[in-house]
Structures are given as structure tokens and as C-alpha cells.
Amino acid sequence: MSSTVDPNTRPPYDPLIQDIADYVLGYQVESAEALDTARNCLMDSLGCAFLALRFPECTKLLGPLVEGTQVPHGARVPGTSYRLDPAKAAWDLGTLIRWLDFNDTWLAAEWAHPSDNLGGILAVADHLSQVRVARGDAPLTMRLVLEAMVKAHEIQGVMALENAFNRVGLDHVVLVKLASTAVCAWLLGADREQLLSAISHALVDGQALRTYRHSPNTGSRKSWAAGDATSRGVRLADIALRGEMGIPGVLSEPQWGFYDVSYSHTNKDLATKPEEQRRFSLPQGFGCYVMENVLFKVRFPAEFHGQTACEAAVRLHRQVRNRVTEVDRIRITTQESAIRIINKTGPLANAADRDHCIQYMTAVALVYGNLVAEHYEDDFHQAHPVIDRLRDRMEVVEDPRYSREYLEPDKRSIANAVQVFFKDGSSTDKVEVEYPLGHRRRRGEGIALLEEKFRANLATRFAADRCARIFALCKDQAALEAMPVERFMDLLVL
């Protein structure tokens, strides 16, 4: 009679966990471009949050779990009067930033919105800075917030370069949780052992499925999933700081680890590869590459793979607006990722369903010459049946070059082309847009428009004099970096 006994020798932490911890603890953010982009990212993310406060489906989810709860030195939620514990404040701000699908984006093997992490970063920094001031210590400054943003962007974005969680059905918010946990633990003062523990708990957590992002189940959870993930990061960081032991082999442990349970064995693309390739791949080390190359959504609150389709459609608007009834067919040429994520036919059930439909966003831009958040709402959709009539006439095809250059490190284009054909045999030109306004290659053109976007979003929440003060501060790199966090937050609350 024989028996199997597992050796109970505790392993060292998986190398990736150690790499992330050492990066967060040791990397000095010195890139002026990264810090400048982080400032613009902060400005844009807050603007997206202010705009989201106009939508009741979002605001109904905000605030304390127990009405009337008072939290001394609680973190503030920008654009509101809420003062909450940091985990719930992170949930609220993360949800506001992501609600309208209008904040920054990172596209690679995995798709991501790195500014989702700002929910946790700003909530933790605001709380800590208030506590420090109350104790007579120096406050935290916004420079630290910008550095934390650079590091969170980098963790999330580098992890997304070659690791397709979407291929195994996991949602990209797993990377929000990972990055928020690591950076928030650092802000809270974690030592290396505490940081390793925190990161391991982010990976051992149950991870969200992508079900709510895809037809036929697309729904509003995709608008609060990132808020939930950054909030969870705050909670796990706090648990680790309280001395909770970590799980060193969370990734690599046979049978029980992340790779075996949630990644390799269910990934058809990896199933036939050697075991060492059925692991996360990092093509480069952590630095500030992601923040320097992040994609901003400058004009359209829509899933990023369709941004250039909207630009092309707006350019065609004048040729199409008076001939809508004459349209025979519309061809959208796109990349493989867009076909997999946002190519939809049939009924669209809700606003979240519509902003993840390349045909819907293109039709609106063709007919109305613009695309704003209100265009996704039920009332607008029901009042404008022309949108669905045009959707029925659309074909979506892949251009292999678009798919290839989407992944090339020196390009990372997100190309689309739109062409409209009329019943009389005539057609528009094929309008192609390879790089969206928010791409690094179009920074000079895009930043001025990003600032206009921020001004408009500020005006939805604050009086003109307050808008001017906030905008002037966010424009001034040196003044913003020197500003105490709690004083910055004072400007943003009601």
C-alpha cells in the first residue's frame, strides 16, 4: 500500500511577484514626459468622473453603504460631498472614471484602462495626507500621486503586452486589481514582505469573467467593474499591512496555482506549447513606457477599438447626412480585436451594449457628425430608428495589416476605415484613420482638445471661478506637483 505525500517546503515568491514589488519600491520616476502625461491623465480622468455624475444609473451606486456614516479623515469623492473610507471612495471614484468609457486606454494582447487605478491611488493618498496633517506631519503631495499613477500604468500595461487574459475568458480588471494593490500598498508604507504578500493576494483572488462585456450579455457591470477592482486593491493592501501572510507560489504551484487553475489549461492558444511558455510573458522590464505611450479618448466616449471609425465617420458626415435614405451598404474595415469585441448585429439592450458596438457608434457619427454619451441612452436610441436601419446595412471586415500593426511596438495603430455606398451606384471615398487623436503620434494635436474636454467636463459640476482655478492648477506641472493632496481634493468636492 502506497500513499502520496506532498512536500511542505514553502517556496520563495514567484519571480514576477518579486519583480513587481522591487519595481514599486525601488523605481524612481524621473521622466518628464511620463510625469507630464500623468498630469494630463489625472486631469482627463477627473473630467470623465465629473461628466459621469450626470447619469443616474451611475450615481445611484455611490455613497456610503450605511447612509449617514461619518468617517474622520475619510477620502473624498471628487464632484460630490461624500467622505468615505478609502476602499469605498476608491470604488466610487473608479466607477465614475470608467462609467462612460471615456478615460485612457492601453491596447495590446490584453486591453486595459490604466487610469482606473486612480480610484485607489487618490482615495488612499487623500486619507493619508489628512491623517498626516492632523498629526502635525508634512502632507503628501500630488507629485507622489503622479508617481503612483506612472507605476500603476506600467504594471497594468506591461502585463498586458503579451498576456491575453481575454483568451481565457478573464476580464482585464484583474490587472487593475494587481496594479492598485501593489501601488496602494506602497503608498501605505509597505515594506518588501508586506508588498509581496499584498500582490500575492491580488493574484489568488477570484477573478472577474468577461461575460458582462460581450454579446449577448453586455451590461452596466462593465462600467463599475474597474471601480470594484481598484477598491479591492485598497482592501488587500490594507490586509497585508496588518500582517497577513502571503501566498508565495500563487502563480506557479502545480494544480492549485493561477497558471494551472485560471490560465494555461483553459487557453487553447497555449495548450500545445511547452510548459514554460504557458506562463506570463514580459517582453520588457518595468519603467515608464506605458504612461508615455498611453492612449487618450479625446472626442468619443466609446470602446477604443472603434475610435478611428468614429473619426472617419465624422469626416464623411457632410456627404451622408442628406442621403441617409439612399444608403445601400456601409463597409467598416477594422482590426481583429474590434471584430472580436465590438462587432454586433441584432438588438442592443442598453447603453453599455451600444457603446460596445462599432456599428452603432459609426452610424451615430455618420448621421449626426458627433458621438456623445447621451447618444447611447434608451431615449435617444428609441427616438432615432435611422441608427438601426444603417446598422442593418453595415459589413465589418478585417484588414490583416491593421491587425498586424495593432501589435507592432513601434506603431500600435488602432486603424479603421469607413466607406458608404449608395443605391445609385455612387460611393464616398474610403476614409482611413490609422492613429486616433489620443495616440502618442498625435499628442500635439490631441492635448489641446483634451484640455477643452476637461474644461467642458468641469463646467458640468462647478461654478466658473472654481473651474478656472482647477484648470489653471492642472495646467501648471510644478504647482500641481507641489500641492498637498488634501488641499487639491478640497478644490474638487461640493
140 and 485 Cβ atoms separated by less than 8 Å: yes
Q: Which residues contact 469 (CB under 8 A, 6 or more apart)?
A: 491
**Across 225-238, average pLDDT:** 98
pLDDT per residue over 178-212, tens digit each?
A: 999 999 999 999 999 999 999 999 999 999 999 99
pLDDT tens digits for range 322-361: 999 999 999 999 999 999 999 999 999 999 999 999 999 9
Residue whose cell numbers read 453595415: 394
Give the integer Cα–Cα distance in Å for 342 and 360.
10
Residue 236's pLDDT is 98
Q: Which residues of 340-370 are buried (b: 16+ CB within 10 A; e: fewer)?
A: ebbbbeeebeebbbbbbbbbbbbbbbbbbee
Q: Report how far residue 227's alpha carbon sits from residue 113's, in angstroms, rounded to the nearest whole number.
A: 11
132-175 pLDDT tens trace: 999 999 999 999 999 999 999 999 999 999 999 998 999 999 99
Helix (H) or strand (E) holding 364: helix 358-368
What pLDDT does 381 receive? 97
> What pLDDT score was predicted for residue 386?
97
- Rounded distance, CA 60 to CA 224, Å? 12
Bridge partners (DSSP) listed for residue 111: 107
pLDDT number for residue 233:
98
Question: What pLDDT score was predicted for residue 4?
Answer: 62
Residue 113 near residue 223, CB atoms below 8 Å = no
Q: What is the pLDDT of residue 269?
A: 54
* Mean pLDDT of the chain, nearest integer: 95
Alpha carbon distance 364, 121 (integer Å): 36
Least trusted range by pLDDT, from 215-219, 245-249, 286-290, 393-397? 215-219
80-113 burial: b if 16+ Cβ within 10 Å, else e: bebbbbbbbbbbbbbbbbbbbbbbbbbbbbbbbb
CB atoms within 10 A of CB 326: 13
Q: Which residues pair with 295 in a beta bridge?
A: 105
Q: What is the DSSP letter of 141?
A: B
CA–CA separation, 137 and 291 (whole Å):
31
Can you tell me the mean pLDDT for 217-227? 96
Sheet containing 431-433: give its strands across.
394-398, 327-334, 416-422, 431-433
Angle made by CA atoms 137, 138, 139, in degrees to the nearest 5: 115
Q: Quick one: average pLDDT of 282-293?
A: 96
CA atoms of 412 and 414, how far apart (whole Å): 7
Residue 333: which H helix or E strand, with range? strand 327-334
What is the predicted pLDDT for the residue at 218?
93
Mean pLDDT of 20-35: 98
Do the strands 327-334 and 394-398 form a parallel or antiparallel pair, or are they unpaired? parallel
Q: pLDDT per residue over 266-285, tens digit each?
A: 445 545 555 555 689 999 99
State the Cα–Cα distance between residues 179 and 225, nearest whole angstrom: 15
pLDDT tens string 426-452: 999 999 999 999 999 999 899 999 999
Distances (CA, A) of 470 to 38, 47, 201, 389, 478: 16, 11, 37, 43, 14
Amino acid 275: pLDDT: 54
Q: How far apart are CA 199 and CA 248, in angstroms?
A: 10
Neighbouring C-alpha atoms within 13 Å toward the C-beta of 177: 22
- The three cell numbers of residue 381 are 436610441
User: At residue 418, does pLDDT exceed 90?
Assistant: yes
CA pair distance 229, 95, nearest whole angstrom: 10
Provide the pLDDT for residue 317. Answer: 98
Contacts of 27 (CB under 8 A, 6+ apart): 151, 286, 287
347 alpha-carbon distance from chain centroid: 26
- The full DSSP string for 13-33 is PPHHHHHHHHHHHH-----HH
d(C-alpha 161, C-alpha 282), whole Å: 7
**Is 325 strand, coil or helix?**
helix
The answer to whether the CB of 186 falls within 8 A of the CB of 25 is yes
Kindly state the cell numbers that stand for 454: 476637461
pLDDT at 239: 98
Strand 416-422 relative to strand 431-433, pairing = antiparallel
Question: Using one digit for the tens of pLDDT, what is the confidence trace for 87-126?
Answer: 999 999 999 999 999 999 999 999 999 999 999 999 999 9
Q: How confident is the model at residue 387 (pLDDT cuts 50, 70, 90)?
A: very high
Alpha-carbon distance of 413 to 295, in angstroms, equals: 10
Q: Any idea how long the chain is?
A: 494
Mean pLDDT in residue range 285-303: 95
The Cα 40–Cα 494 span in angstroms is 23
DSSP β-ladder status, 83-84 and 106-107: unpaired
Is the pLDDT confidence value at 2 over 70? no
- Does residue 484 sit in helix, strand or coil? strand
